Structure 1
Amino acid sequence: MRTLVLNAGYEPLAVISFKRALLLVMNDRATIIERVEDSPVWGTSSVFDRPAVILLSRYVRVPTTYDVPVTRRGVLRRDGFRCGYCAKPAATIDHVMPRSRGGADSWENLVACCLRCNNVKSDRTPHEMGWELRFIPQPPRGTQWTVRGTERAEPAWAPYLSAAAA
């Protein structure tokens, strides 16, 4: 059985197990808003309502920005599957500052690149080749860049919920 956790402002935060929700309620970190009537939780000395929805006692600030992880597919998508040098269809990615010279795997150092440009450029910089990038590489922004699975990464309010278990 799962329990919905609401922030003090009644905005949904997470869905957690009823055991974890019961711990929050027992430690006075939350109150039960909605109960499951049919199945109470039996303890050794008392009976507890099984929570379906709980409300946190204190407001938890939820971060609004997430760092999008750098992936090959993400770089190609950000650049519209077009080469950063010649604008032809791109199938590979290129390090603007080559890794052999200390270039990082970051949004600012990776661009989509066609196979021809990638092979010609090799381990040189665009400046050494006399090439110019069509745009300045930047990290993507917006909700469409939220990668499935990263929303399970440790959110800012998770320690608050974990503290109840301790």
Structure 2
Amino acid sequence: MPHVLVLNASYEPLGVVPLRRALVLVLENKAICLEESGAFMHSATRAVAAPSVVRLKRFVRVPYRGPVPLTRKALFARDGGRCMYCGAVATSVDHVIPRSRGGRHAWDNVVAACRRCNHVKADRHLRELGWRLHQQPAPPSGLAWRIIGTGHRDPRWLPYLQPYGADDALARFQGARLTSGAPL
């Protein structure tokens, strides 16, 4: 089922919801459709354009959510879907400092890796192999990462996410998608 970006009344990104929930918000007059997906949802009496981006009519106060949670989807989005060791298409998660040697499962120690590099590296340090990372792992920041980390992406969302730090992440993801042929 397609997903829809939900914005606060101040245009701040709040999250991603299923299409059905977004339609309910629009039909109950709680949200305004800002972007349409081009498809139509039909009922017995009417047809409604399926939204891609909706904005709530009333401001919703959102409590502090803390750091972006470390999930597989968010990690692959941060690393652009590429192996941080060789640049190939990433299929697995690797700990730079292996957990068996005291490494933590945290943003600054976890990277996306291809199957081959993950297998060769195993539980060794990078200096033992003479390898280098393409870039230092770091936790993502900005409101847009909560959206990008879900794994749901739509090019119509980009103008609404750019002011909140999505440029860098989406540019890396787009580059990886173009080279790997993976769908957006």
Determine which structure has more spread, i.e. the larger CA radius of gyration: 1
Q: As a proportion of its length, which structure holds more helix? A: 2
